[in-house]
Amino acid sequence: MTAYPRWKIALVAIVLCLGIFLAVPNLFGEENALQLARDRAVVTDTDRAAVAQILKEKGVTPTGEFLDQGRLTLRFSTKQDQLKARDVIAEARPDQFTIALSQASRVPEWMRNLGLSPLKLGLDLRGGVYLVYQVDVAGAVKQLLDHHEQDFRASLRNARVIYQDVVVDYPSNRVRVLFRDADSFAKGRAAIVADNRNLNFTDTTVGGAPALELQLTPQEIKDRQDYAVQQNIVILRNRLNSPELAVSEPQVARQGVDRIAIQLPGLQNSAEVKKILGKTATLEFRMVDESNNPLEAAGTGRVPLGSKLYYTRDKQPVLLKREVVVTGDQLTDASFQPNTQEGPAVSVGLDSRGAAKMLKNTQENLGHLMAVVFIDRSREKNAEGVVVDRTTEEVINRATIRGVFSNNFNITGVNPIEGRELALLLRAGGLAAPLSPVEERAIGPTLGQENINKGVNAMVFGMLAAFIFMAIYYKVFGLIADLTLAANVVLLTALLSLLGAALTLPGIAAVVLTVGMAVDANILIYERIREELRNGVSPRAAISAGFDRAFSAIADSNVTAFIAGLVLWLFGAGAVRGFAVVLMLGIATSVFTAVMGSHALVQIIYGGRRKLERLSI
Amino acid sequence: MEFFHKVTRFPFMNTRKVWYGLSALLIIASIGLVTLRGLNLGVDFTGGVTVETNFPQAPNIESLRTALEKAGVANAQVQAFGSSRDILVRLPPDPNAKGDQIGAHILEVFGTVDPGVKLQSTAVVGPQVGQELFVKGGWALFATLVLILIYVLFRFTLKLACGAILAVLHDPICVVGFFALSQMTFDLTAIAAILAVIGYSLNDTVIVFDRIRERARTARKLTIAQVIDESINQTLSRTLMTKLVTLLVVLALLIFGGETLHAFSAALVIGILAGTYSSIYISAALALDFGLRTDDLLERKLTKPEEVDGLP
């Protein structure tokens, strides 16, 4: 027998140690926890210190705490501590945090800092609500065409050009400006192009008369659709962090071209969520009233005539003029520009109506402060069951007007983090394509626990059956196979924990199935060894030949199963994807453990013997 | 312990007409069942609402049905699933139905029959989504078959690849036939099971082919039919042992996995049985009838050169 190279044995040992290390966080178990999030902002280290101070004063000690993705998680040893801490924080810092009751792993912080975390459980195992929204992308494109139509009419009106009509053709995504004669066409063309330099027009004739045509390219349509979906995702994310909705770890992700999937673990009542997600948001630009003192107005409650009292996000009072400069529906785009001449800025685009008003306003108010107000509207039932509209308004930005501008301008004086957020908020508040729910699944927590128990039972009994069978049928080699099967499960757990892929009930089924695959690889090798022994080959040569010759069959069979997994992952949704991910990872780990792992063990057991006459197989 | 002390010598190739007949019968029966009885498509594919509830004691399903009718919930299917205490309500897709409300509403109605009832889960799938999922599932099956065909083509020859694909097609048809026969809910997890079955079945076929190629290169005196027979017999113990262990594991899923995995594991059991059968009796036999010759397997020198050098 050619000895199995030492470096391969070492490699197996290293991978296994790494696997155990990565899988260890799953052994710590869970504890009652609180998750603190801020409305439209992240929880900082300062907040963390402040919260720790509050809890210390009240004598509630968390057993652990960590900041992750802008949320602060505090763990408590008892349910009473958890509830007491929630009340204490809510009382000391009213309205500042969204506090959700949840469960968190007892993994120590140093492990967490190394990026180690336990397996995530899917909604079917922990209970919760799954929602899929359809974004009206066709409506978003239609909106864009309508915007262009209005802009063109405005340009022609301002240039005092006589035209026949502006026609929007929705199915073919086209806007045509019809003129009577060549003279007005030339003038009108110049006016429209001057106002819309970023658009590509073509000259054409309709019914013998000249016309100017704007045809959206497939890329422009796709961009517009992507933009609508992205925008809605931003809005939904923001709303899920709102104080009205105490959800721990909400997930919002795009699904396909025009869908958004939302996962809300631990939540039971989907009606509440849908109400909040269905809100509409918008924004306004207003001039700041610089002649009066906002603190005084807030203190006395007497607001000067012609002004209105607002608050910023950090609850600072601001006085703004009653007259609105530009509203959110006139906004066409907003993006963050990290490197302009004046430092980071948010670039804002307005349509022609907005641009005209902005031009007039900036000419008159150079050097004065202008503010952006974010308005969130929601419709809900109050305690008496009457439907009321609730509006939340807050000032998200104030900046000095430094120049005259119209349809395109920069908001400066923001830091990079604020700028990125402001751009998101401006876009989020501006145009949102309508959303409608198309799929909804809710799983109760008891069912989740039942599913876990059933999955674990199936796994334990299935593996036990395989273990016993292998040990009886292949004796020592069977025990080797059992060890590699156990290693396979450890490695698979490690990979899943590392990747943060959520484990679902179909995922557990996939784990059980990969146990089958791993057994298969072992059987292929052992049957081959037996065959060689029957042919009278020496034990060492039989082992060598068994591993060598079985490999091509193992590779072929696993590649085909992997293809099936890959296709499932590409085409599947939800539960099926969870199954596919685990299946693919499981195939990888099972090939590794069954081929390299068991060869290394065989080498360790039989390799050192001088004379090898019989194999226990 | 060893079940196969000697290599068996079953004449698979000479009896292949019998096995073709059996397969044809299975396929015709499956297609007949699907057309006559139809599939009990799950809410994933039809769209609509399912509400799962749990009762402290087994309720009278008829009284639940009348309670729902009285409360104005029309077209509701009420059935027990898993245990007699778990009651599933299914409603056809309705554009006006609100998922959260229908769940609460049904719970309220059931509460009049037994106040101890608990809501386990609700699912609301829009009819459009359902249709899309169905089409997507079909595409997934098709894409898997094509990709696997390409892989087998690359690794072996066209004749073997065709034999493999035809034999593999046989298995999902049997599984779908089983779903039509048992009227178990055919949903997304059933599609996942079918794809897993395709993977498994091909796995066996490929291992037999692997051996055929190896034998064809070393035993040049035998006819191709003899090579195939020998190869199937030589790999028989491996094929049956592997499937036995896999079946043990899948049976554990079937028994302990609960209602969610029930259809999935049942599909796997049927699929594994069909797959084992088709890879032993059908795939290589088809390749033989497509005119497979020893030369086909020698032309492609994909294996290591020393094996080729060792040829007589």
State how far the Cα of B95 lies from the Cα of B103, in Å rounded to an integer.
15
Percent of chain A with pLDDT over 90: 8
CB distance A334 to A404 below 8 Å: no
Convert the pLDDT of each residue in A488-512 to its tens digit. 999 999 999 888 878 887 888 788 7
Nearest to B238 among A513, A527, A579 (CB): A527
In this structure, are A501 and A541 located in the same domain?
yes
Q: Which residues span the domain enclosing A300?
A: 279-430
In a domain, A436, yes or no: no
Average pLDDT on A192-217 reads: 87
Nearest to B207 among A459, A509, A557 (CB): A557
Q: Which residues pair with A169 in a beta bridge?
A: A174
In this structure, are A404 and A475 located in the same domain?
no
Q: Outline where A175-258 has alpha helix (H).
A: 182-195, 218-240
In this structure, are A486 and A397 located in the same domain?
no
Whether B73 has a pLDDT exceeding 90, the answer reads no
The CATH number of the domain where A569 resides is what? 1.20.1640.10
Whether A603 has a pLDDT exceeding 60, the answer reads yes
Interchain CB contact of B101 with A (< 8 Å): yes
What pLDDT is attached to residue B308?
43
In this structure, are A472 and A582 located in the same domain?
yes
Short-list A243, A238, A314, CA closest to A280: A238
In this structure, are A265 and A285 located in the same domain?
no
Given A430, A459, A483, which residue is the final one in a domain? A430
What pLDDT is attached to residue B176?
93
Distance from CA of A609 to the nearest CA of B (A): 24
Residue B265 and residue A470: Cβ atoms within 8 Å?
no
Q: What are phi and psi of B33, to 5 degrees?
A: -60, -40
Residue B151 and residue A466: Cβ atoms within 8 Å?
no
Residue A574 confidence class, pLDDT cut points 50, 70, 90:
low
Which chain A residues contact residue B101 at CB under 8 A?
271
Which chain A residues contact residue B125 at CB under 8 A?
438-440
Residues 6+ apart with CB under 8 A from B12: B19, B228, B229, B232, B233, B280, B281, B284, B285
Residues 6+ apart with CB under 8 A from A593: A484, A485, A487, A488, A491, A518
In a domain, A123, yes or no: no
Q: Which is more confident, A116 or A493? A: A493
In this structure, are A41 and A13 located in the same domain?
no
Whether B22 has a pLDDT exceeding 70, the answer reads yes
ipTM value: 0.79
What pLDDT is attached to residue B274?
93
State how far the Cα of A354 lies from the Cα of A405, in Å rounded to an integer.
11
In this structure, are A467 and A584 located in the same domain?
yes
In this structure, are A528 and A574 located in the same domain?
yes
Question: What is the dihedral angle through the alpha carbons of A534, A536, A540, A545, rounded to the nearest 10 degrees?
Answer: -70
Least confident interval from A214-223, A347-356, A581-590: A347-356
Distance from CA of A515 to the nearest CA of B (A): 8
Whether A15 has a pLDDT exceeding 50, the answer reads yes
Residue B188 and residue A576: Cβ atoms within 8 Å?
yes
Beta strands in A116-199 (DSSP E): 120-121, 128-135, 165-169, 174-178
In this structure, are A309 and A238 located in the same domain?
no
In a domain, A117, yes or no: no
Residue B196 and residue A513: Cβ atoms within 8 Å?
yes
In a domain, A1, yes or no: no
Nearest to A560 among B99, B121, B206 (CB): B206
Given A381, A401, A430, which residue is the final one in a domain? A430
Q: At what angle do helices A445-499 and A598-606 cross, to 10 degrees?
A: 70
Domains, chain B, in order of start with CATH, read 16-41+130-309 (1.20.1640.10), 48-125 (3.30.70.3220)
Residue A556 and residue B123: Cβ atoms within 8 Å?
no
Residue A440 and residue B100: Cβ atoms within 8 Å?
yes
Convert the pLDDT of each residue in A57-91 to its tens digit. 888 888 888 887 777 888 888 888 888 888 888 88
Residue of A nearest to B190 (CA): A576
In this structure, are A468 and A570 located in the same domain?
yes
Mutate which: B121, B231, B301, vs A, most A CBs within 10 A: B121
In a domain, A248, yes or no: yes
In this structure, are A19 and A37 located in the same domain?
no
Mutate which: B203, B236, B254, B297, vs A, most A CBs within 10 A: B203
Whether A319 has a pLDDT exceeding 50, the answer reads yes
In this structure, are A263 and A339 located in the same domain?
no
Which chain B residues contact residue A516 at CB under 8 A?
242, 245-246, 249-250
In a domain, A332, yes or no: yes
Convert the pLDDT of each residue in B223-278 to its tens digit. 889 999 999 998 888 888 888 888 888 898 888 888 778 888 899 999 999 999 99
Residue of B nearest to A452 (CA): B257
CB distance B267 to B193 below 8 Å: yes
In a domain, A438, yes or no: no
Given A397, A430, A463, which residue is the final one in a domain? A430
Nearest-5° Cα angle at A344, A340 to A350? 75
In a domain, A613, yes or no: no
**Chain B stretch 232-251, residues whose beta carbon is closer than 8 A to a beta carbon of chain A:** 234-235, 237-238, 241-242, 244-246, 248-251
State how far the Cα of A553 lies from the Cα of A549, in Å rounded to an integer.
8
> How many separate domains does chain A show?
4
Residue A505 and residue B257: Cβ atoms within 8 Å?
yes
Nearest to A269 among B100, B203, B237 (CB): B100
State how far the Cα of A112 lies from the Cα of A90, in Å rounded to an integer.
27
Which chain A residues contact residue B126 at CB under 8 A?
134, 437-439
The CATH number of the domain where A90 resides is what? 3.30.70.260
Nearest to B192 among A462, A515, A579 (CB): A579
Nearest to A516 among B1, B139, B245 (CB): B245
Residues 6+ apart with CB under 8 A from A470: A478, A479, A481, A482, A485, A519, A522, B245
Residue A552 and residue B188: Cβ atoms within 8 Å?
no
Average pLDDT on A129-154 reads: 82
Q: Which residues of A46-57 are buried (b: 16+ CB within 10 A; e: fewer)?
A: ebbeebeebbee
Nearest to A465 among B122, B252, B258 (CB): B252
- Half-sphere exposure of residue A378, counting CA atoms within 13 Å on the CB side? 17
Convert the pLDDT of each residue in B178-226 to its tens digit. 999 998 888 877 887 887 788 778 888 888 888 898 888 888 788 889 9
Residue whose token pair is 């349809």: A407
Nearest to A451 among B144, B244, B258 (CB): B258
Q: Is A590 exposed, middle or buried (0-12, 13-18, 19+ CB in 10 A)?
A: buried
